[in-house]
Structure 1
């Protein structure tokens, strides 16, 4: 059973991909009681507020399927149930949808702080390496973490001035796409 169906994060408009079914529920991450906060990065010029609630950002078109999952945690390694994660990224040709919500959406972590996103790997555009944007908030009036997640082994990582190795997703190939893992640690 996939994390999507087990956690009930969102009703998907498209059938759950076999790749998501293959994704294992992430185990509670190893932690020594004090984790380093996820680094902040710029939101760039393409953020659009009020994205639709959905855990599946796929739309028509080609591109490598990506199933990203992980936890949202405090610095004391405690899960943050119900944390809001708002994702957006370029389409497979490197273009952003600035009029609608293609490759944009938000979801909530489950009661164990787990999340899962289904999307397609973004394309490249001038000056940037392949990346996803995300805003993470624990709830209420808490500070928002805005950051970017990067793909390992991308040639553009060396040239991108914003690239931060601490924000690399752990990716592995799977039938039909890639499975990714990233745990967010909120500072406060």
Structure 2
């Protein structure tokens, strides 16, 4: 269940609409037969039948992170990352006002655990269309761990999903061999690898869609 777009192949996406169906001349079987030859929109698909899997919280979570979508605060430099996506339920419905609480290591592989600045930490809520945007950097690895971003996701009144986002082995940042680091990390899973676009002007565009229970 994927499509080609700016970021490559995404595991959880909305498939294109009627225009694509008209060009391709095909529709999904679930859509039925088009009346009088008109192409019907393709059926939206966002999930492989499972919600986003959990990964351990780890020791560095801090409560009461600030409300912000940009983690590039004072002292945070490195390879820039612009992460976007949506939060869906398992029936492919976009979810508004979902809490996303992110935290990560910096360009040195260190967490801000002591200052009131909450560097590398922040929470936000999805928009009416279920979308979110996070401006941050690619975190560096540290002993025993591959680069990753922690996140807690909670739809209004729903359970909390705690997971980690990982990077493709081809990621270029800080001289890391991400493919090797992924293989050595005991918590790494392929289901939560983000999809990266092309590195341009020291910035990666990236995408990841969450699917959560409500």
Both proteins in one fold, TM over 0.5: yes
> Looking at CA atoms only, which structure, 1 or 2, has the larger radius of gyration?
2
Matching residue of 1:182: 208
Give the 4+ runs in structure 1 shifted more than 3 A: 32-35
TM-score of the pair, normalised by structure 2? 0.72
Matching residue of 1:73: 88
Extract unaligned runs of 5+ from structure 2.
1-5, 8-12, 16-44, 170-177
Extract unaligned runs of 5+ from structure 1.
1-21
Give RMSD over aligned pairs: 2.2
1:164 aligns with 2:164: no
- Quick check: 2:85–2:133 contact (8 Å CA) kept in 1? yes
Q: CA deviation at 1:175?
A: 2.4
The answer to which structure, 1 or 2, has the higher relative contact order (CA under 8 A, 6+ apart) is 1
* Superposed CA offset, 1:49-100 (max 9, x none): 1100000000224300000010000000000001010000001101111123
Change (3 A) 1:119 1:33: closer
* Equivalent residue runs for 1:1-188 within 5 Å: 29-30=14-15, 31=45, 35-59=49-73, 60-100=75-115, 101-140=118-157, 142-153=158-169, 154=178, 155-176=180-201, 177-188=203-214
* Superposed CA offset, 1:140-186 (max 9, x none): 3x210000000001220011010000110000124231011000000
